[in-house]
């Protein structure tokens, strides 16, 4: 019983707001046709299957809508009820999309017909009535969508065109110019050409086959339709920022028992400089037992440049053999992981890249708000249930004499995450430093 109550509480904590009142559909879209009357219907939902009264009204007056404040009663056995009204296209609306609102409110208990002039309520929903009024002559609206997630694939530009005017558009075509982060024009492409009837939607597309390096770019779009133009501008990104570990070398003066210096060759493959790059290093032996873990100093690397970050390992009490170095490279809330096998000898360390590494992933912990909420809710439930159990046990069950049991240690579960680096920073002896940058 206690756990049932707990699960109900958990459902309430984690569920989205449940509404006793609902409307479907929430929106109706019409094309404005002068002089015509159109019937519109929506459905009021009794989500909790209870006796209720709602009032339907509009602040728009009677110029377009024949709605007067109307009280509707729903019984507990009525899951829904339809409401119908008319839109009268007898007045003037501004060109473009116009919106009228029809309100539906749940009335408090004890509401009477004499209270019709007073609209006090517990809950309000809105049905949107959107009326599209054509512009005189030729008029179009547009947008641009850019698909550029993969650095190895062409960039695709899709430009939707909405003919919002009363006249047909004979020719519509766009020119797209691409600029790099320094404002230099690097490419110009054109879309296909289309015609478009009044009130219709079409699109023009273009593909940039020229390969762009990873980075941020800007597109300027010049859309011409008959004797009119629309100018747009949009920033886009190709690929994701990538810092690649091109290799790791070891100081040629290495002697087993001393501090080994590893130089990591890092390449910034992004077209902007990246700051605060650092690595978490974990070293394990051939039985996957952790020998050490540490964090390097941070470095900044310019756009499309190469830098070197040094890491240090104290090999005191280390025997010759095969070890594994796991590198988690952190930058811009991303992690690029690389693994090397190390053949450690008395006077050398040979590095061999371990296959299947190098994927860029989001840094652990980002976007974890939902998990935090879930964990907090579960923790509260566990504490509540324990408290209730202890209370009833103390209240109802008489304590019995029991043979004293020895206190046994409880071993916490060990979670092994080989690729996660969260160790503390270890400073090398003799105050070693070593952050170098070069192009």
- What would the pLDDT profile of 221-233 be if each residue is shown by its tens digit? 999 999 999 999 9
CATH number, domain of 45, equals 2.60.40.10
62: tokens are 């009677």
Phi, psi of 308 (to 5 degrees): -125, 130
Residue 332 within any structural domain of the chain: yes
Domain endpoint, select from 238, 271, 294: 238
Q: Do 224 and 345 lie in a common domain? A: no
Q: Give kind and range of the element (H or E) at residue 244.
A: strand 243-250
Q: Do 300 and 431 lie in a common domain? A: yes
Q: Do 225 and 265 lie in a common domain? A: no
Q: Give the angle subtended at the CA of 345 by the CAs of 342 and 346, to the nearest 5°.
A: 145
CA nearest to 58, candidates 76, 45, 42, 73: 42
State how far the Cα of 85 lies from the Cα of 73, in Å rounded to an integer.
Answer: 17
Given this model, what pLDDT does residue 96 score?
87
State how far the Cα of 12 lies from the Cα of 376, in Å rounded to an integer.
Answer: 14
Per-residue pLDDT reduced to its tens digit, 286-341? 888 999 999 999 999 999 999 999 999 999 999 999 999 999 999 998 999 999 99
Residue 393 within any structural domain of the chain: no
Look up the pTM and report it. Answer: 0.60
Residue 328 within any structural domain of the chain: yes
User: Does the structure show a pLDDT above 80 at 131?
Assistant: yes
Per-residue pLDDT reduced to its tens digit, 59-109? 765 678 878 888 989 898 989 999 998 888 877 788 888 888 988 998 887
Q: 207 and 192 in contact (C-beta within 8 Å)?
A: no
Q: Give kind and range of the element (H or E) at residue 393.
A: helix 369-396
Q: Residue 229: give the domain boundaries.
A: 140-238
CATH number, domain of 149, equals 2.60.40.2360
Cβ-Cβ contacts under 8 Å for 117 (sequence gap 6 or more) = none
Q: Do 229 and 249 lie in a common domain? A: no
53: tokens are 């009264």
Phi, psi of 223 (to 5 degrees): -100, 120
Phi, psi of 262 (to 5 degrees): -105, 130
Q: Do 261 and 229 lie in a common domain? A: no
77: tokens are 């056995």
Domain endpoint, select from 71, 100, 133: 133
User: Does the structure show a pLDDT above 90 at 35?
Assistant: no
Residue 233 within any structural domain of the chain: yes
Q: Do 169 and 252 lie in a common domain? A: no
C-alpha Rg value of the chain to the nearest Å: 34
């Amino acid at each position: 019983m206690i756990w049932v109550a707990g699960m109900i509480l958990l459902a309430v904590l984690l569920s989205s707001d449940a509404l006793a009142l609902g409307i479907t559909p929430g929106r109706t879209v019409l094309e404005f046709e002068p002089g015509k009357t159109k019937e519109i219907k929506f459905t009021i939902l009794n989500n909790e299957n209870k006796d209720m009264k709602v009032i339907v009204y509009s602040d728009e007056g009677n110029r377009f809508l024949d709605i007067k404040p109307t009280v509707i009663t729903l019984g507990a056995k009525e899951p829904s009820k339809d409401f119908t009204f008319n839109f009268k296209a007898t007045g003037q609306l501004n060109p473009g999309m116009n919106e009228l609102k029809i309100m539906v409110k749940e009335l408090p208990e004890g509401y009477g017909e004499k209270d019709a002039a007073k609209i006090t309520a517990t809950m309000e929903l809105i049905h949107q009535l959107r009326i599209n009024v054509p512009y005189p002559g030729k008029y179009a609206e547009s947008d641009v969508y850019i698909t550029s997630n993969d650095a190895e694939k062409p960039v695709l530009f899709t430009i939707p065109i909405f003919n919002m005017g009363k006249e047909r558009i004979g020719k519509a075509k766009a020119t797209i110019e691409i600029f790099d982060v320094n404002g230099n024009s690097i490419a110009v492409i054109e879309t296909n050409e289309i015609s478009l009837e009044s009130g219709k939607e079409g699109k023009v597309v273009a593909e940039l086959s020229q390969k762009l390096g990873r980075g941020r770019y800007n597109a300027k779009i010049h859309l011409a339709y008959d004797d009119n133009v629309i100018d747009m501008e949009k920033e886009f990104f190709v690929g994701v920022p990538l810092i690649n570990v091109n290799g790791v070398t070891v100081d040629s003066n290495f002697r087993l028992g001393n501090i080994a210096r590893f130089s990591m060759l890092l390449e910034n493959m992004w077209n902007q400089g990246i700051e605060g790059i650092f690595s978490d290093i974990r070293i394990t032996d051939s039985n996957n037992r952790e020998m050490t873990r540490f964090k390097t100093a941070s470095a900044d690397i310019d756009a499309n440049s190469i830098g070197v970050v040094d890491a240090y390992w104290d090999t005191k009490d280390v025997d010759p053999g095969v070890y594994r170095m796991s590198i988690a490279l952190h930058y811009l809330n991303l992690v690029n992981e690389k693994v090397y096998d190390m053949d450690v000898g008395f006077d050398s360390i040979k590095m061999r890249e371990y296959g299947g590494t190098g994927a860029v992933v989001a840094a652990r912990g980002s976007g974890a708000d939902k998990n935090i909420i879930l964990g907090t809710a579960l923790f509260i439930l566990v504490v509540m249930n324990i408290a209730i159990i202890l209370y009833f046990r103390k209240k109802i069950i008489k304590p019995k004499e029991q043979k004293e049991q020895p206190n046994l240690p409880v071993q916490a579960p060990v979670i092994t995450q080989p690729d996660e680096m969260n160790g503390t920073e270890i400073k090398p002896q003799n105050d070693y430093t070593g952050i170098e940058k070069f192009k």
